[in-house]
Structure 1
Amino acid sequence: MRRRSATALLTLLTALAALLAGPGAGPASAATAAHRPVVLVHGYNADPGVWGSLDARLRAAGYADGEIFRWGYDTHQSVNEVLAGRFAAYVDEVRRTTGADRVDIVAHSFGSLPTRWYVKYAGGTATVAHWISLAGPNHGTGVAWACALWDQACRDMTPGSWVQNHLAEGDETPGPVAYTTFWSNCDEVIDPDDSVRLTGATNTPAGCLDHNALLGDEAVGRGVVAALGAA
């Protein structure tokens, strides 16, 4: 009898503790739903360190260490022949590590091209939920002619290049992926400014910002977090 009484008392105390703790503390709601992994992809002649401001903003929005990934790569290589394949392998690794079926992508500048190629031509429509481009040369930039003679990535960024023509072919925003771009009318690197915008994407004007200023701009950061949270 004593053992039954002790068990009953323990059950009662557990129930009371859960009641007193309130609706947010029980096992059913012990943790906020995990975020989908987000992969941050830097631009030309840059490195993963450029993402400090957005990383902090994501963490403030509740992202954990294991939900934010930064892909580092050699920005002087071919978009389609080298980088898109390496990015595909990286996404596969992120998905294996986290158990997520899909990832979100935020790319700055040149990083928009290998990630777009992956989505459009390498199966990314099935593994990417949100694709976000900050100041991406999505239809090329005349500035890239300055280095096109000796640099493959620059050639890929020039208007009318083989890569640009294939990315623009057919549907620019294929599959169930949610596409978002942020562009500036004062961007000294993207020429013309409207190169960033894609048919079928949510194209968001960021105001008069320098090319790299989009990385740390507060309004752009809020917009990225909001886009990632959209269905």
Structure 2
Amino acid sequence: MATNSERGGRMNRRSLLQKMAGASAAGLLAAGASEPVAAGKGSLGGSDGNPCDWDRADDSHLPWDTGGQYGGWGGHEYHGTPEGQVYNPIIFVHGNGRDACDWQGHADYMIDQGYYGDELWAITFVGTTDDADTPTHEDMRNQLDDFVQNVMDYTGADQVDIVEHSLGVTGAYWWMDSYDRYDWVNTYIGLAGAFNGNCWCSCCCDQGDEGEPCQFIAAQCYYDGHPLYDMQQPDETPPGTNWYTVRGYYDGIYNPCGLYYSPYLDGADNNLYYTDHDGVRVYSKSDVFSWTYYNN
């Protein structure tokens, strides 16, 4: 699969997408989405992936008690590797309707490259609204903060690397910004995230029930005073963290309404994969290894 780095070779993403967001608000239905699509497992999450065989809040695959707040996996006992840590622990963050097991293939790949189990962790968010499979951004922010703190306490690491897909991209970014955790994160890898909105949330910023993803990542949410916009000001990629993003050339979450560059951040190493929304996650293993390993 071909991959291109588009770092430094394009017009300013913020200026371009502010124009696109305005156009999307007026003409999105004519641009490829015949009617508003509810934010559910089949939309922002991509394809079905490989879900875990246990409940979302099951913490038996983690070396600490989550109190039922969230689930996940990680550590040498779970992965069956020797104990220890050489590299920054990697935190994998799933998208809408998915869970930690989306990332099992990435963990297996990293172990094959020499990583220990204590360096590989993935969270399963638990939504606090009617649908446990769909966390709000507040859910993701709060649960991720506890998860990362526990990983750092368990491993003794000063920093982590964080890899996210789809809805988890803005969830992790908002966590870093809202709680000022930039100094916790050495490398940030955002795969197909909605920094300037998406085409599935085609109605408005208050679409659906309270707390649904579209109320945070609709294109119409990208305005001064809304968290989607405010968290990216004044610098989309604050210094001290290594920033990487990937967009998919055939990504149906962004392309139908012209939000091609929504997954990018100004100042990041922005990359293009010739695949769809979920393919960006699936085919990122070797890049995830390179971007984390060589920044340790």
With 103-112 and 156-165 compared, the bigger mean Cα shift is at: 156-165
Cα distance between partner residues in 1 of 2:251 and 2:227: 22
Higher RCO by CA contacts (8 Å cutoff, separation 6 or greater): 2
Structure with the larger helix share? 1
CA positional deviation for 1:121? 2.6
Q: Are residues 1:50 and 2:102 paired?
A: yes
Cα distance between partner residues in 2 of 1:49 and 1:119: 23
Cα distance between partner residues in 2 of 1:165 and 1:178: 21
Cα distance between partner residues in 1 of 2:117 and 2:84: 15
Cα distance between partner residues in 2 of 1:193 and 1:167: 20
Aligned to 1:78: 136
With 83-92 and 32-41 compared, the bigger mean Cα shift is at: 32-41
* Secondary structure, aligned partner of 2:207: coil
- The alignment's C-alpha RMSD in Å is 2.1
* Secondary structure, aligned partner of 2:154: helix
Give the greater-gyration-radius structure (CA).
Answer: 1
Q: How many residues align?
A: 197
Aligned to 2:220: 160
Q: Are residues 1:107 and 2:107 paired?
A: no
Aligned to 2:65: none
Structure 1 residues 62-211: aligned runs within 5 Å: 62-73=114-125, 74=127, 76-79=134-137, 81-145=138-202, 148-150=207-209, 152-161=212-221, 162-191=226-255, 192-207=259-274, 209-211=275-277
Q: Which amino acid aligns with 1:211?
A: H
TM-score by length of 2: 0.62
**1:133-177, Cα deviation, whole Å (9 max, x unpaired):** 111112111212379322522221111322321123211111301
Q: Are residues 1:224 and 2:288 paired?
A: yes
Q: Which amino acid aligns with 2:98?
A: A
CA positional deviation for 1:33? 7.1
Gaps of 5+ in 2: 1-82, 128-132
Percent identity over the alignment is 23
* Secondary structure, aligned partner of 1:189: coil
* Secondary structure, aligned partner of 1:138: coil
* Secondary structure, aligned partner of 1:194: coil
